[in-house]
Each structure stands twice: as C-alpha cells, then as structure tokens.
Structure 1
Amino acid sequence: MELRFVLRFENVGMRYGIGPEILRDISFSLAPGSFHFLTGSSGAGKTTLLKLMYLALRPTRGLVHLFDKDISVTPREELPALRRQIGVVFQDFRLIDHMTAVENVAMPLRVNGGRHIEIDNHVRELLGWVGLGERLDARPSTLSGGQQ
C-alpha cells in the first residue's frame, strides 16, 4: 500500500494549560517528497505547530497522523521510533563543532541504521542542492550563519 500522506492534521487545536487556544481547527496534509515553507508573524503559533509536527507536543484536540499512525492513540514509548523517521532542522543549527558538514547531516541517518555508502551519497547530493557542494568537509566554525 502506497503512503498517501506523511503527515495529516485534522481539526487540530492546541492550548497550553488553561490558556487560550493557540492553534484552532488546523487541517492540512503533506505528501511524501513534498517541500513546504511555514511563515507567519511573531506569536502566530509557528513553533507550536512545528512541535506538533515533530511530536514534541500532542494536540489538545483533533487528529494528527504521522505515516498513517494516529498519534493520539500511539503509546508514548513508540514515539521515539516515529521521530527517527522524520528530519528536523532547528533554527539554532545544533551542529557538532568537530564534525564536517557531511558528518553532521549524516549523523541522524547513521543513528537510524542506514547503510554508510547510501547515506554518504544522499547527504552529498542534499548538500549540493542547498549550495554546499564545495563545503562538504567544512567544519561549522568555518561556515557562515546562512551556510550553517
């Protein structure tokens, strides 16, 4: 069976404690291989939405499906395995100083048990796409903020 959506939100709402609802009636789906941008003004709920997407939070209402699994009924102990199937690039980079660009990008894939040669080829291709093909062996301290 082919996966139709990597991620699907259905009428998701989120509030912190007894405060107001930060996100209300959010519905969307992301297809495999698709590419998306999340923009909005400060305080619009972008960070909360991202945390819901990478399973750092569970919604207060609505349904979140990741790889066709309903997160609301997924036991907490199964969440780390699901998280390892997605990639998140944090705004503060979280790069390891003594590792090269290739090694930093490849690390999550290696931790997840991927084959070394396939990972290396894939990472080099990805870094080429974002204009870092000439900086594969550069350490984070030698990269500009934008390159990081």
Structure 2
Amino acid sequence: MIDDAVLILSELLSNSCRHARPLHLVDEPDGHGPADGPADRDADRDADRDAGGDTGRDTGGEDDPGTVLVSWRMRGDGLLTLEVTDGGASTRPVPAGPSVTAHGGRGLNIVGQLARDWGVRHAPGQVTVWAELPAFGQVVGGGRRRSA
C-alpha cells in the first residue's frame, strides 16, 4: 500500500506542477487562515537562514510563486485518503488516452488502476484531486472516478 500511495502522490503532484496554477494562500481576517501571517513568514525565513540554508519549507515570501498542498489521512474504515490541492488549470483533470509512443499522459490512468476510488473537488480558487486506497489489501481492476 505504501508503494501505491507514493506512486499516486507522485502522479498527482506531477500533474499539479505541470498543468495547474499554484494555490495562493491568504490569511483570513481572524488570523486563522491557511497560511502563516507576515511575521510568521519572516520568522521562518530567519530560521531557514540561521539553519544554514533552505530547510525545504515554503515560507510564502513576496517572491513566492504559490503553493501546492498535499495531505493524507487514515480513515476509521481502513481507507487511506490522499489529496493534492492547487489553483486549478484551464482544463479539468481527466484521464488521457495517449499513444503507445507518447512520453506522458498516463498518470490519472495509473491512479485509477491503483486507487479504490478517486475524484476531483472544486472550491473557489482551488482544485483538489483525491484518491482512496485500502490500508489492508490490493484493489485489482482500478477504481471509479467521481467529481464534486
């Protein structure tokens, strides 16, 4: 299951980086938004510099081009849910039908074969592609795709 989860996340992240706009996070007026505030970003940047370089954290600086969010959770019913959220693209994420010699276009077909279920969720300014895997056992024959 771990190998399948890693492959699915790799495919979803590759698609996000290649086809979608980044997700631009903004602070909510109450200070509990999805992104750190400016003081937190400055502290993160200072901590990165003091640590001797880039620690891999997205500090959301002014030159920050955006963000892609990745999440996973183990549900009580034994399903692992994986999600990648970005700013969306000009087209909807759908499986392609590439030629035998094509260098790409198979990612969502791979996700569909490995996942029990997968789909696309839209919200203002963001698109989330999600997949579910059983924690115990392999799914043969692929999952179905749903949209919200």
What range describes the TM-score normalised by the shorter chain of this pair?
under 0.3
The structure, 1 or 2, with the larger RCO (C-alpha pairs under 8 Å, 6+ apart) is: 2
TM-score (norm 2): 0.25
TM-score, normalised by the number of residues in structure 1: 0.25
Bigger fraction of residues in helix: 1
